[in-house]
């Protein structure tokens, strides 16, 4: 039996609880949003700074400046065909990645993968999308991570395909200017079977000398399984659990493997995929089999559409508050808290109606 005044006490108590839930939820949203947005913005600003350094250098030294496919003169679009070109590339996709907000997106995906400050991540990058390597390094710097980078010189059309300004030249420039401070752990020539067997001998020799002078190990193994095991030694160092995420940029042979099933892997954050037979597996499969999340950066149009990034923009995209707020997943704690709050108010309404109808 409900005594007099119980309705008023019920409304007062549950009203105070509801207000408390709303305030707590608001603070949780604000705290989480501000923290994430700040890190994402720093990543984008890091990439913007890197691109400016590269652009200034290329303009000063007349590198890639006469390329009609690079109307913004970024220096990040190489020739369609050269001694380093391996496959056909899409200039629109290449221009789309020259956007500082890609670094913010990669930072977001790393956070969704569960990566935290001080963690080690692995990066495997071909020269096809030099801007995506810059974006990955910029995100790693913003999140204060330890990236282990293995890159290759082979590039599809309009990538870092200029033999006079390779991916390593670009990377080395950022190191010299102290924009980044993590040196690659290894490199490969790339191309067919990851050995550059189709490249001009003079180009291959020049690559070897430049890496030797920099003290960067060169992986020259043709066999995919052995090549992958060598990379695993650089990345895992005997402990696969030290790697918290793997970023694949481009279509490197040893990263993707030789199975056609890799074409079914969607861009963005990947936790599961079809695993082919061992002799066809790439580093993506090695990571996934060890429950290491993969950030797959290859199908650029799909990635841009999913996260509302402009496709082949006519001008350089700016960094705005909106541009670093993607359609990614929200913090699970916030979603759970929101659900609890919603359920509480439903229960309150039902109880209030029962109480009201009883009088």
Q: Tell me what pLDDT residue 78 has.
A: 97
The whole-number pLDDT of residue 320 equals: 75
For tokens 């390779």, name the residue. Answer: 166
User: Per the structure block, which two tokens stand in for 147?
Assistant: 């990236």
Q: What is the pLDDT of residue 159?
A: 97
> What's the chain's Rg over C-alpha atoms?
25
Identify the band that residue 37 occupies on the pLDDT scale cut at 50, 70 and 90.
confident
**Residue found under tokens 């709050």:** 341
Q: 190, 201, 204: which is closest to 152 by C-alpha? A: 190
Predicted pLDDT of residue 33: 47
pLDDT score, position 171: 98
- Mean pLDDT in residue range 303-329: 82
Closest CA to 160 of 82, 213, 212: 82
pLDDT of residue 340: 73
Closest by CA position to 124, among listed 115, 114, 133, 116:
133
The residue whose two tokens read 């190489």 is: 78
Domain ranges of the chain: 6-29+332-357, 40-324
Pairing of strands 268-270, 294-297: antiparallel
- The reported pLDDT for the residue numbered 232 is 98
- Among 36-45, 89-98, 340-349, where is mean pLDDT lowest? 340-349
Structure-token match 């790439």, residue found: 282
């Amino acid at each position: 039996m409900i005594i007099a005044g119980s309705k008023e006490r019920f409304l007062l108590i549950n009203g105070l609880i509801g207000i408390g839930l709303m305030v707590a939820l608001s603070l949780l949203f604000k705290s989480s949003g501000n923290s994430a947005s700040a890190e994402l913005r720093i990543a984008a600003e890091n990439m913007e700074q890197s691109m400016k350094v590269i652009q200034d250098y290329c303009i000063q030294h007349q590198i890639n400046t006469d390329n009609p496919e690079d109307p913004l003169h970024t220096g990040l679009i190489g020739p369609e065909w050269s001694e380093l070109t391996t496959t056909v590339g899409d200039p629109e996709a290449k221009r789309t990645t020259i956007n500082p907000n890609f670094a913010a997106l990669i930072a977001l995906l790393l956070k969704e993968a569960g990566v935290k400050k001080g963690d080690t991540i692995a990066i495997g990058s071909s020269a096809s999308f030099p801007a995506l390597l810059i974006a990955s390094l910029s995100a790693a710097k913003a999140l204060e991570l330890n990236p282990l980078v293995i890159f290759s010189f082979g590039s599809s059309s309009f990538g870092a395909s200029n033999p006079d300004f390779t991916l390593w030249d670009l990377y080395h420039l950022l190191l010299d200017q102290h924009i980044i401070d993590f040196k690659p752990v290894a490199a490969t020539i790339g191309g067919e079977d990851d050995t550059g067997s189709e490249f001009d001998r003079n180009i291959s020799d020049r690559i070897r000398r430049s890496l030797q002078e920099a003290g960067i190990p060169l992986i020259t193994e043709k066999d995919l399984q052995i090549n992958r095991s060598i990379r695993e030694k650089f990345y895992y160092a005997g402990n696969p659990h030290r790697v918290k995420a793997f970023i694949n940029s481009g279509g490197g042979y040893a990263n993707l493997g030789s199975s056609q099933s890799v074409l079914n892997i969607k861009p963005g954050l990947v936790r599961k995929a079809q695993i082919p037979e061992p002799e066809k597996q790439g580093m993506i499969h090695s990571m996934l089999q060890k429950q290491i999340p993969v950030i797959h950066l290859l199908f650029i149009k799909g990635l841009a559409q999913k996260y509302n990034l402009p496709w082949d923009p006519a001008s350089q995209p700016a960094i705005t508050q909106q541009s670093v707020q993607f359609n990614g997943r929200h913090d699970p704690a916030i979603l759970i808290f929101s659900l609890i709050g919603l359920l509480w108010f439903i229960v309150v309404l039902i109880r209030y109606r029962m109480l009201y109808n009883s009088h």
